[in-house]
Structure 1
Amino acid sequence: MNKSLVNKYNIAGPRYTSYPTVPYWDVETFSREKWKSSLIESYNESNSKEGISLYIHLPFCESLCTFCGCNKRITKQHSVESPYIKAVLKEWHLYLELFDTKPIIKELHLGGGTPTFFSPENLKLLINGILKASILAPEYEFSFEGHPNNTTREHLQALYDVGFRRVSYGVQDYNETVQRAIHRIQPFENVKRATALAREIGYTSVGHDIIFGLPFQTIDHIKETILKTKVLLPDRLAFYSYAHVPWIKGNGQRGFDDSNLPSAEVKREQYELGKELLAEVGYHEIGMDHFALTTDALYQSAINGNLHRNFMGYSASKTQAMIGLGVSSISDSWYGFAQNIKSIESYYNLLEEDTLPVFRGHILNAEDLIIRRHILNLMCQFETSWTTDYLWFNELPDAIIKLKEMEKDELLKIDSNKIEVTLKGRPFVRNICMAFDVLLQRKKPEMQLFSMTV
């Protein structure tokens, strides 16, 4: 990796799990009623054709990991499980009241927090409650995030019994110094055990999450982690950059100094080394910071052009409507976004009043929808085009001009009606997307809102 390119393009920028990005949502004109109308429109268009997706946020953790930017509640009191599950099911039933037909569930994902904080019995209770008034799509996919230290055989079996076939484990790094800094101590043997258990029970896709750019992390640490990962050979990998945003995430990311973090140049070296080592055993880069073996559905989806990206990250299939349940969850109707309130107590209070616990959102206008498509194309297929009026927007010529410098740096190719990201340019796809982000261009943030792109 050319260090001059790293220095040139290492700026703060969105990860584009949505467009518009959250800081640019028009929250002033948003309302619950507009959100409901947006979702009903999307549901009526798409449920019978492709079904819907569900994301369920389970926020509880027994200890704080200092690298984490997710919404969480730290507690060792497992009495919190039952009230939370009842609240999530109440929220689900409020959504069901909006629909004239039974929803067809194509995808369901449990995130957190730590989903395996919950007992196997309570997790089954939750999923069975969701499925009671639903229909399963022919090729549905259920997945969850597991903590290697507390994911038991009972957890895996209980979730397998209600339809789960994919699990991802948060590994981050195997070095003890790094693990102590991020307060995530988990020996390799724990990850090995959890991975083997999932495969023994019958899970068809086991994923690992690895992070580069962590405090005190060196090139040798990345090499050690990747070499151990190659021994277990997970079906897919998220190998992504640590997003250091303590000004947004609060004290959770203030357990170390900025000086303890690797430089931008070292971070890119970490990533390039990891990518090289992964390629040696058959992993393919299928999207920004994501890798998969050829046998995994994520790889097949990338090859077939069906790869999708939303608030859950990359997905092997697309549904137009995604409903987020639980505190802080974000829903996506394609025509609008809605985020749930972040306080558990306020979440409970709103549900007791039979009110959807949404506190902010954005309804997309015609321009938003066009730009969203371009950014999604770039993030999932590393190319986009404007061969029809449907994909044209007024500021597209300005975006092309901004990309000329990147073309000189061989990061992309610009044709008369198409842009294609080169292999050299893939690490900078966030920068490329920023040229299309007219809201970001019109109003540059006065303070840093996003993590660095490198």
Structure 2
Amino acid sequence: MDRESLINKYNVPVPRYTSYPTVPFWGNERPDVKQWLKVVKRTFDESNEAKGISVYVHLPYCERLCTYCACTKVITRNHGVEEQYIDAVLQEWQIYLNTFKEQPILRELHLGGGTPTFFSPENLKRLINGIKENAKLHPEHEFSFEGHPNNTTRDHLQALYDVGFRRVSYGVQDFDPEVQRVINRKQSFETVKEVTIAAREIGYHSVNFDLIYGLPKQELSSINDTFEKVSELKPDRIAYYSYAHVPWKTKGQRMFTDADIPDSAEKRELYELGKEKLAELGYDDVGMDHFSLPHDELFIAREANRLHRNFMGYNTSHTELLIGLGASSISDAKYAYSQNPKEINLYEKACAKGELDLVKGYFLTDEDLIVKQAILDITCRRELSFEGELKKYLPTGIKAELQVMHDEGIIVLTDDKLVVTDLGMIFLRNIAKPFDNKLRYSKSGEGNMFSKAI
């Protein structure tokens, strides 16, 4: 089967596997907070000294609505909300500090959004210093943040550098003016160039660009032009994402019609052109839409089998405990997941009382833990051994499904393991899917739960 036929076959709704089980299979019951904190303490005690912990902070405010965005956000120009929200985040952090009983070792800290640089440099420093105050820093810690090119100032970059940040990710998406108009994210190449140069002058060692294919009004010419401009700046990493059209989840996507969006064939062409340009520029396919230059730590971690994947996407630090702070944030304590409320008023109200208000969660079974590791092995290490406990949880008929993938050239299958081929890198989600027992035995199927693979 040729490459185009494979793309046609495997371009179906499938999870992104930032967790297993994936969020739609967690159920709707609120998790017991005491039970959750008990699991957090267990995971902390098992892993803090050896690996440290990760912290993700969700900063949900944006001044303008980007219509393509499906993230949890609040649109406002009222910057008076900053201090109260930071107070709430630090109050939530204190709950976890009280649970740990001893100082956490910060290995990884990421600011996501929303727009983290909506917040003033002074308030961001207060936030980070508040988190660091009762923590130790791992010798190989990595702090990163998402920056909007239009409002990330040199002062932002310097303030965050001063408190330990060395990696920044800019949401570029596409440089075409018409695409930017439709998605309501107008930002010039000069603006992106200015903040990229500023980050490097200050001392950031890794700059990432987020690019999206399949956006409304996007054409091959705009992808080509975007990559020509990207080649001038040569970011250390590029995330080349597929636009997920989910208007039933986010009202902003109802501001353009299906007629504005490239059809399946056109989207594949956009993807293929982007992949071709990435290869020409020397970027290596790390997996699941992530590409990096050989000097970047993401590539180095992949080569050294240190790559990990969680709710923050691919990262270089395999911590067992990820604490999500802020409205809508998700935490991963190895044996359980939890999520905060999306409504800021509910989140702040609970934090002010020194309480957690968890709206969703899941406690993993022994089977879940085995399958979770199997999917991580596929998506992070490109291979999976069938030996050990995994054998008992392999569904009937899976070897036949995998044999088809072997015959198609996307994996190499032997009696005791599978290895993902270079061709198979664009099908990682599809290769992981047969091991997803929750999805396999679900009566609802994929439906509208997940975006298409490509």
Q: TM-score, normalised by structure 1?
A: 0.97
SS in structure 2 at match of 1:247: coil
* Deviation sequence 1:419-453 (CA, Å, 0-9, x none): 11222222121111111111101014264211111
Corresponding residue of 1:200: 201
Corresponding residue of 1:227: 228
Corresponding residue of 2:147: 146
Counterparts of 2:423 and 2:205, CA distance in 1? 32
Q: Does 1:413 align with 2:412?
A: yes
Corresponding residue of 2:359: 359
* Deviation sequence 1:200-225 (CA, Å, 0-9, x none): 00111111100111111111211111
Counterparts of 1:399 and 1:20, CA distance in 2? 18
The CA deviation at 1:399 is 2.5
Contact in 1 for aligned 2:103/2:136 (Cα 8 Å): yes
Corresponding residue of 1:422: 421
The CA deviation at 1:29 is 7.8
Contact in 2 for aligned 1:3/1:265 (Cα 8 Å): no
Counterparts of 1:72 and 1:95, CA distance in 2? 24
Counterparts of 2:73 and 2:5, CA distance in 1? 38
* Deviation sequence 1:73-118 (CA, Å, 0-9, x none): 0000000000000000000001111012100000000000000000
Partner amino acid, structure 2, of 1:410:
G
Q: Unaligned 5+ residue runs, structure 1? A: none
CA spacing shift, 1:420–1:397, aligned 2, 3 Å:
farther
Query: Which deviates more from structure 2 when the two are superposed, residues 442-451 or residues 223-232?
Result: 442-451
The CA deviation at 1:169 is 0.2
Corresponding residue of 2:437: 438
Counterparts of 1:344 and 1:221, CA distance in 2? 37
Counterparts of 1:183 and 1:133, CA distance in 2? 40
Alignment of 1:12-31 (within 5 A): 12-28=13-29, 30-31=31-32
Residues paired across the two proteins, number: 452
Counterparts of 1:7 and 1:259, CA distance in 2? 21
Corresponding residue of 1:452: 452
The CA deviation at 1:273 is 1.8
The CA deviation at 1:357 is 2.6
Contact in 2 for aligned 1:61/1:72 (Cα 8 Å): yes
Q: Unaligned 5+ residue runs, structure 2? A: none
CA spacing shift, 1:114–1:304, aligned 2, 3 Å:
same
Counterparts of 2:308 and 2:443, CA distance in 1? 28
Contact in 2 for aligned 1:14/1:430 (Cα 8 Å): yes
* Deviation sequence 1:342-385 (CA, Å, 0-9, x none): 00000011122221132110011011011111111111122211
- For the aligned residue pairs, the C-alpha RMSD in angstroms reads 1.4
Q: Does 1:323 align with 2:323?
A: yes
Query: Which deviates more from structure 2 when the two are superposed, residues 427-436 or residues 76-85?
Result: 427-436
Corresponding residue of 2:258: 258
Query: Which deviates more from structure 2 when the two are superposed, residues 375-384 or residues 99-108?
Result: 375-384
Q: Does 1:93 align with 2:94?
A: yes
Partner amino acid, structure 1, of 2:378:
L
Query: Which deviates more from structure 2 when the two are superposed, residues 421-430 or residues 2-11?
Result: 2-11
Counterparts of 1:204 and 1:320, CA distance in 2? 25
Corresponding residue of 2:52: 51
The CA deviation at 1:280 is 2.0
Counterparts of 1:451 and 1:395, CA distance in 2? 25
* Deviation sequence 1:129-165 (CA, Å, 0-9, x none): 1111111111111000000011001000000000001
The CA deviation at 1:268 is 2.4
* Deviation sequence 1:242-265 (CA, Å, 0-9, x none): 1111112x2122121122211223
Counterparts of 1:89 and 1:242, CA distance in 2? 34
Query: Which deviates more from structure 2 when the two are superposed, residues 121-130 or residues 238-247?
Result: 238-247
SS in structure 2 at match of 1:69: coil
Contact in 2 for aligned 1:213/1:261 (Cα 8 Å): yes
SS in structure 1 at match of 2:96: helix
